[in-house]
Structure 1
Amino acid sequence: MNVEQLAADHGALVSASPFRDGDVSGMLLRREGQPPVIGVNGAHPERRQRFTIAHELGHLLLHPGREIVLDRPVRVNLRDKTSSMATDQEEIEANAFAASLLMPAEMVRRELVKLSPAVRQDPDDCTARLADVFQVSTAAMGFRLINLGMLS
């Protein structure tokens, strides 16, 4: 799945560049009268960037954002290390949106069944192979498998 194209289909511009704060992986900026911008930390691995774009797209579709007044009001959602801990309801929802978008439950189940029994018995190998199939990080796939009850 091309998440950048999906973001564009929803009117968002995606901009990747290294962030000064390495803990921030992405942000969503909405300015009145302009297309929303999904900023993604270009210094992060490509698979993490894919998840970040999907996460920010979740914010775009699900949450109004927090208004910040600079020279005019803007709305911002930031994804940082606190976001990944999923203690804020909006972050939980955006993470779930991204996981469902990039790793649909039925597709994960189908791919899991295709793996050999030996691979399915090794949680690390199983997670790594599925992460490759879905082009996500092993951490994202591990969380997805746990949340789907396929890994404990």
Structure 2
Amino acid sequence: MTRRAELRAARLLAEAGVTSAPVEVEHLAALLGAVVSRSSFKDGDVSGMLVRQGGHPPVIGVNDTHSANRQRFTIAHELGHLVLHPGREVVLDRPVRVNLRDKTSSMASDREEIEANSFAASLLMPADLVRAELGQLSAPVRQDPDLCTEELARIFAVSPSAMGFRLINLGMVS
């Protein structure tokens, strides 16, 4: 399940010619025809949403009260839904497909959320780029897991916790 997400993220990065960090996630959204819209959400727990309506470009709504790194992860997560999942229909004035990113989705308890999180991690922190940047770090930084994680998080413009999970999932730290 997460392998499919990793492969699709790698394909998007290759198609976009991405070869260095940080990944310009909004550029990737534009390449996929999606519009990124930032605003404050009434429910502060909601990080973002993806709205697809026939005949209109998909819209990725992002909670602008969240940190810049969280907003980047949210955009990448919603791009994962865009390329991997059809969405759930919500009836407003007309049928619209919506994916929401909130506390529940962050815990990744459902298959689509796990896959979207895997896609986002693979998109923002591609394994080959993480390995290359890790190799460029000085030996003292590389040998200190906290310093290493913080420095890589800075390079990739993600949170230290996101980078920590990525390093664990890539088998680079225990």
TM-score (norm: length of structure 1)? 0.96
Aligned residue pairs: how many? 152
Select the residue among 118, 131, 139 that pairs with 2:153.
131
The residue number in structure 2 matching 1:72 is 94
Select the residue among 54, 72, 79 that pairs with 1:32.
54
The 1-side partners of 2:48 and 2:145 are apart by 29
The question of 1:119 aligning with 2:134 is answered no
Q: How far off its partner does 1:38 sit? A: 0.1
The 2-side partners of 1:95 and 1:122 are apart by 26
* 1:8 aligned partner, one-letter code: A
Give the gaps of 5 or more residues in structure 2.
1-22
- 1:1-152 to 2 correspondences below 5 Å: 1-152=23-174
The 2-side partners of 1:99 and 1:32 are apart by 28
The 2-side partners of 1:105 and 1:36 are apart by 28
Identity of aligned residues (%): 74
Over 4 Å off, 4+ runs: none
The CA RMSD over aligned residues, in Å, is 0.9
* 1:5 aligned partner, one-letter code: H
In the TM superposition, what whole-angstrom CA distance separates every residue of 1:19-70 from its partner, at most 9, and x where no partner exists? 1111111100011211110000100111111111011011001000000111
Give the gaps of 5 or more residues in structure 1.
none
Q: How far off its partner does 1:118 sit? A: 1.9
Greater relative contact order, per chain length (Cα 8 Å cut-off, separation 6+): 2
The 2-side partners of 1:124 and 1:18 are apart by 32
Query: Partner of 1:55: helix, strand, or coil?
Result: helix
The 2-side partners of 1:78 and 1:27 are apart by 4
